[in-house]
Every structure is written in C-alpha cells, then in structure tokens.
Amino acid sequence: MAILDDLSGYEFEDLMEDVFRHLGYENVRVSARSADEGRDILMEEVVDGRRRAVVVECKHTDTVSRPVVQKLHSAVATYDYDGPKRGMVATTGRFTGPAREYAENLGANRDGGVALLDGSDLREIGDEIGMDLYNGRIEILCEETLRPTHPTAGRDAPVFEATQEVENLDPTRIPSPRTTVDLEPMVTVSTRTSATFETGVGVIHSLDETNDLVLHANRGHPRVAEGAVRELVANRSAPRIDLEETPLENRFDAVSRERYGQTETEYKEWAVDQIQQRQTTTVHYTGDNNVDYQKTCTPNRSDVSVLDIDSVYLPHVRSRLSLGEYAYAYEYYAAGPSRATTANDLHQCVHCGAVDGTHTYCENCGSINCEDHIKTERLEDEPICTGCAVTERFALKTKYFSDEENLETFRRRYDEMPIHKKARENVALAVGVVFASLFVAFILLSSAGVL
C-alpha cells in the first residue's frame, strides 16, 4: 500500500520506478538526482519489435501546468539515446487544460511525444498491477465549484451591502476590499435505507428513507455540514462553474484550493456509518404476554444503499476592508446569489464586540462603534468614538474632540461665553442648580414666615 500524500518527491519517484517495472517496462532506473535535467526516471519499452526510450518526469504536486510538459519535451529531445524516444509526466494531481492541449499536439505514443498520467490514471494502474495507490487527489479529482460570486452583482457587492447598515459610513468613500477565496472540498453522499425489524409479535419498526449527507472533505476526519452550509451544497440547482473554463484568479486577489483528504470509498463508508447511527432508534412494544419490551433497531450496512456521491468545491470568500486605522473581515460561503455568513466585523463594535443595536462609523479613526462608544464631536457635530476622541470637562461635563486643535479652539470660545451659554454646556447641571436654588429660596422664605 502506498499513501502518496505521505511520500516526499524522491519517495514518489522510487515508487513510480516500482510501478513501471510491474507494468513491464525494461531497464527502469531513477536518474541521478544531482544531474536532474527534467528526467526523473529512465526506462525502455518494446513497440512492434522496436526498442524505444521513455523519459519520465514525476511531479508530486496538486497541479501540473504547460511549462512542465514543455521542459520534458526538451529533455527528451536532448536525451542521449541511440534510437526513438518519447516522454511521460506522472503526477498525483491533475494537468491544466493548456498542459493537456500541448501534450495532445505532440502525441502520447508517437516518437518524441509526451504521455500524461494523472491521479485517476495512477489509481487504475494500481488496480491493474495489484498495488493500492490512493490519496485524496487520486480518488477525488474535482473540477467544479459552486459559483463564488453573485451572477449579476460585482465581486465586492456582499461587503458593500453589509456596510449599508452602518450609520455615518458614506458608500461613495468606501475603498475596494481585498477579497480572496478558499475552495473547500465537499462531498454529498446520497443514500437510501430500507430495513424492517420484526419480533414474535410482527413488525415493530421499518425504514424507507433517502438522505443526503453533506461532508466537509478536507484533511482530517470528515465532518458533517449542517445548517446554511448544508443547504448551499445539497441544493442541486445551486450554480456551478468549471474551474478549467473559469479562471477565478482573474476575479479574486488570491485563490487557494484545498485537497480532498480521503478516498471516495472512505467517504462512502464513513457516511454509511453515520446513517446507521442516525437511524438507530429504541422501539417500545407489547409482547403476546402483555409484557412491555424495548428493542434497539439499528439498520445493517447492507440495508443502506449509496445512490450517488457528488464532489464539489465550496467557495469560502474572505474580504478585508480597510477603513482608517482598522481592517474589517467579512467572510461567507457562497453559491451564486446565496451565501452563509461566517464572519462580519462590520456589525460589531471594535471596543466591546457588541453586535446588537445600531452601529456608527467614526470617520476620525475608521472605527465602527456601538451606541455606548460613539459620541458627538463638540465643534464639528459629527460622530466620534470614545477610543480616538480627545476629552476635557466643561461645566462638569465631558466633551469630545477629534484632536487637540479642536479642543484648544473650544477652550477659547468657552472662555468668551457669557454665563448663560456656559450653562448650556451642561443642561442637566444648570437645571439642577436652578431647582436647588428655588428649593433653598423656598426653605428660607418658609422659615421667615413669608410663605
């Protein structure tokens, strides 16, 4: 058994040496690594009684592009061999469209041509020669993803939509966010369970159900997707795109594609185990002797049929919007116009993390604030947060300023104010003083017998 994910590049070359030997190639040997010129394995084949050299390049990578094939084609041409020769590229991953097109033009089996072996080819070869070659890239080679963008709106439309709920944030002054997408592998296993459970009193429980089990299929143990994420993936009408035909790199600032962590067979077996656990139930029934009994009913593995297994990448779109001194994350799983939000800093106070209530933008520093952390700038009458404001108490009340210059300006104005205007800087205090004065006057007049 060879788990290709666990192999280094050199170990993969050694493994392929064994594979080619089992396939009947002759004089198979790994080329000297210190002198590797695009020739990892050298071997010979006999075709129609004629001996021909085969030069092999081994690539233990996710994707093999056209330059690799071109390089090997040149290496074949310069290989010192007295006779016909051709090339071959073997990879655990996949070949890009341009790489396949270039190889097809050269021809796979012609002299001077280049043949391509991808992950699925290696699996079939392993079955032929009795070697169990597997990993996620071999068993599941997915070329489809749910559409990461709204079909009629721009790439950044979800971010701008989220900013509409933030007060004091001018949409015309919002910069373009940096937006990346992670393509996360998902598998949907469709099953049907048909089971009947009987005792001496007859049938006590039966099952005839179909289920779609949606799994997160990246490295590590599979996880069942629930809620909105499940709905996105399980929706058979959700828009999909072909990764070969739609280069997402032209739309996003960065694109990454995770690898499937297990084989298709392993996901099927794991899903069947999950279905068995979920459909296990305890049934209470009354026997012929009028005694109450209970029985745990668990469907057998043979009762669960796998109808279909569907693999697709789920786009996890991650936007970073820079506003002043702050950067805000807005992240979501996407399927065309539908999405499931996973992070939204735009609706969260930067100071206390509050997500409920109204949020207001502070243009002075770029912060988004809850009602407890937003104030009004005394001179400019604009929202300002408690985090960046310069403060000072006037008439025993704290005033908020965008900078020291505004504070100094107000100090001068305050010094020039008549007493009644100064009182307006703390209306509550002024009203309290008036009522207190009236109360004192009332007491004095009462004591003097005037009232």
The pLDDT of residue 136 is: 36
Binning pLDDT at 50, 70 and 90, where does residue 309 land? Answer: confident
Q: Domain-by-domain residue ranges, the chain?
A: 2-139, 172-315
The pLDDT of residue 443 is: 66
Of all residues in the chain, the percent with pLDDT exceeding 90 is 59
The pLDDT of residue 430 is: 47
The pLDDT of residue 218 is: 87
Angle subtended at Cα 441 by Cα 438 and Cα 444, rounded to the nearest 5 degrees? 155
Between 60-64, 157-161, 296-300, 443-447, the lowest mean confidence (pLDDT) is in 443-447
Contact between residue 84 and residue 50 where contact means Cβ atoms under 8 Å apart: yes
Contact between residue 290 and residue 296 where contact means Cβ atoms under 8 Å apart: no
The pLDDT of residue 445 is: 61
What distance lies between CA 93 and its chain's CA centroid? 20
- What are 114-164's pLDDT values in tens digits? 999 988 888 788 877 766 665 433 457 688 999 999 888 889 999 999 999
- What are 244-293's pLDDT values in tens digits? 888 898 899 999 998 888 877 788 889 999 999 999 999 999 988 889 99
Contact between residue 98 and residue 117 where contact means Cβ atoms under 8 Å apart: no
- What are 355-377's pLDDT values in tens digits? 999 999 999 999 999 999 999 99
Q: What phi and psi values does residue 136 have, to the nearest 5 degrees?
A: -60, -35
The pLDDT of residue 61 is: 85
pLDDT at 37 over 60: no
331: closest CA among 229, 257, 186, 224?
A: 229
The pLDDT of residue 269 is: 84
**In the predicted model, what is the mean pLDDT of residues 27-44?**
72
Q: Give pairs for 34-42: CB < 8 Å, separation 24+.
A: 37/75, 37/78, 38/71, 38/72, 38/74, 38/75, 39/72, 39/75, 39/79, 40/13, 40/16, 41/13, 41/16, 41/17, 42/79
pLDDT at 396 over 50: yes
The pLDDT of residue 157 is: 92
pLDDT at 101 over 80: yes
- What are 208-237's pLDDT values in tens digits? 999 999 999 988 789 999 999 999 999 988
Helices (H), 370-426: 404-416, 419-424
pLDDT, mean over the chain: 87
Q: Which has the higher per-residue pLDDT, 231 or 16?
A: 231
Q: What is the DSSP letter of 33?
A: G
Q: Which CATH number does 2-139 carry?
A: 3.40.1350.10
In three-state secondary structure terms, 154 is coil
Q: What is the dihedral of CA 378, 384, 389, 392, to 10 degrees?
A: 30
135: closest CA among 263, 1, 271?
A: 263
